[in-house]
Amino acid sequence: MLDQLPEGTGSVVARRARGDVIDAEYDGAARFGGLPGGTYSVEALGDNGAVLAEELTTVGAHPGERPVHGFATSFQDGDVPAILEWLIALRCTVVQIYDWMAEYAAPLGPEEGWKDPSGRPVSYTALRSLAAGIREGGAVAHAYAPVYAVDLAFGAAHPELLMVRNDGGKQRFLDMIELADPANVDWQRHFAASYGAAADSIGFDGFHVDTYGYPRVAGNARGEALDMRAAYESFLTFLRAARPEDQISFNQVNGVPSAVGLPLGPGFRYCEVWPPNDQWRHLEALMDRTSGRAGLVAPPATGGELVRGSIACYPPVWGRGDKESPVLGAAREAALRTVLCTEAVATCLGASALLYGDVNAVLCDPYYPKHERLAVGEAGTAIAWHRFALRCRDLFLEGEDTSWYDIADENGAVALEWDGPVRPEPVGGTVFARVVRSDDCVAVSVLDLTGSAQGSWSEPTQSGRCRSVRARLLVPAPDSWRAAVATLGRHGDRFVAATLTPARHREGRAVEVEVPVESGWSVLRLTRA
C-alpha cells in the first residue's frame, strides 16, 4: 500500500487489471474495507483525477494464494538492509530463505552463529532481522526445508529412517546427504519438531518443502516398496497438522510426482524446471501435470492454491563458467532479456515465477549463492518488466484460456496480424499470444519472442522486431464492448482506452484495435461497456 500520501491527494482508489475500481474511505488517511483477492494498483488521486502516486500490492486470504516470489541467501548482518530494499521493490509476498540451516536434520544452530552445510557463515541475528523485515514488508519468510535430507552422521545413527535403493544401497544426494523416508512417522515427527523449533526461534512463517526430483523407485528400511506420491502426501499432511498456520509450498521437480494432493491450508504448488524441459513451451504442460488439472485456469481452489502455482528455473545465460570472458555488453542484454521473457511467459500462463531476490540478484544456478548480481540499470529494467507482470497478472489467473482454439485457427474468434507469425505457445521467432475469457472480459497478451532462436529459457534472447499487431475479435453485441491497452513503457504501464473499429468475421460483425508492442510486451483488455 501507499505508505505516504502526497500533498494534494483528494481520493485514493485501488484499481485491478480487470478494470475494477474500489474507492477508499479517505479523510487524510486511506482505508479499504477489505479488498477481494488480487493484485491492485493503489493510486493517490488529485482533485482533477490525476495520479499523484501509486503502488502495487497483492492481497488474498494468505500470501500463497497469489505468490509474488523472491529469495534470500546472504545471512550476514550487513546484508539485510539491501536485501529488504530489493524484495520490497519487487513487491514480494513470499521469500524463500535458502540454505540457512546448521545441519539438515538439526537446522537451528547456536545464537552466536554457525556455518551452513556448504561452509558459509550464517548470523543468527541477521536471520532474525531478515525474517522480521520480510514480515514487516507484508511477506512470508519461507524457510527452505528439504523433505528428506539428513546428514551422514544422523543417517548412521538412524538407519531405520532412511530410504534404500533397489540394489540395497542407501538413497543419497551428492556425497554429503542421505535421504530419509518421507512416510516414516518418526521422521515426520523429527522434521516437524526440529524445523518448527527453528522457525519459532528465527521468525519464519512457513516452509518451502524441497525434493530433488527422485527417488523414482525406492524402498523403506524394511525393504518394502514406497509409493513416493503417497509418501509425500503423508508427510505434507503430518506437517500441516503440526503447523496449521504456516505457509507450505511443495516442490514437484519437473512435475514429479504429478498431481500430488496438497493438504488444505495456506500453501501453493511449486515446480522446479530442468532440462530436457528447457524451452518456454514446455512450461504449460509441466504445470498442468504438476496440478493434475490440464488445460484449466481458475481462481484459487479450496485451500488457496492456484491451479498452476509457481515455477522456478535457473537461466544459465550469464557466462559464469567462463571467468576469463564474462558476459558483457550486448551479450549481457540478451541474457537479461531471457530472464524478462521467462517471467512474462509464466505470467501469461497463469503462474508465478521465482527468479529474483537477495541483493539485486537473479537466479542462474540451482545453488542459490551462485546467483548473478544485476547492475543498477539492469535491475531497473527487471523491476519495470516485473511490475508490468504484476499489473496484468490477474487477467490470466481467472477465466477460461481459449488460446489454443482462438489463435491462428481459421474458425477462431481472435486474430492477431502483423508481418510475422503468431502462436498460442511461446516458441522462438514468433509473437506469443494468450487469450483468457470470462463473460464480461477478454484479455489478450502479446509477447514478442522473435528475438529468441530456440524459444528457450536456457539461451540468450535478442530484442524482437514486432512493433504492433492488429487485433480482430469476434464478440457478442460488438457495440457493447470497450477496449484498453497496457503497453510496457507507455503511459506508466497503465491500461489506456483504445479505439475499436468495426470489422468483419466469417460469423458476422467483429471489432478491431491496434496494439503497440514497442518494448516487447502489451496486454489488450476488452470489457462490456
C-alpha cell at position 172: 543419497
Neighbours of 189 (CB within 10 A): 12
How far is Cα 66 from Cα 394, in angstroms, rounded to an integer? 9
The amino acid at residue 525 is R
Arithmetic mean of pLDDT, 487-508: 94
More confident residue, 322 or 176: 176
In this prediction, residue 269 has a pLDDT band, given cuts at 50, 70 and 90, of very high
pLDDT for the residue 293: 60
Residue 321 pLDDT exceeds 80: no
In this prediction, residue 62 has a pLDDT band, given cuts at 50, 70 and 90, of confident
Least confident of 83-87, 308-312, 375-379: 308-312
Q: What residue ranges in 17-139 does DSSP mark as E strands?
A: 21-23, 25-26, 30-31, 38-46, 51-59, 69-72, 94-97, 114-115, 121-122
pLDDT for the residue 90: 97
CA 237 to chain centre: 24
Beta bridge partners of 13: 23, 43
Least confident of 149-158, 315-324, 336-345, 415-424: 315-324
Arithmetic mean of pLDDT, 246-260: 94
How far is Cα 412 from Cα 1, in angstroms, rounded to an integer? 40
Arithmetic mean of pLDDT, 376-403: 95
Q: Show Cβ contacts of residue 413 under 8 Å, excluding neighbours closer than 6 positions.
A: 402, 406, 473, 474, 475, 505
- Tell me the pLDDT tens digit for each residue of 1-21: 677 888 889 999 999 999 999
Pairing of strands 267-272, 247-251: parallel
What are the residue ranges of helices labelled H in 257-406?
282-291, 329-348, 376-392, 403-406
C-alpha cell at position 244: 496449521
Helix axes 124-136, 185-202, angle to 10 degrees: 80
- Tell me the pLDDT tens digit for each residue of 422-452: 999 999 999 999 999 998 999 999 999 999 9
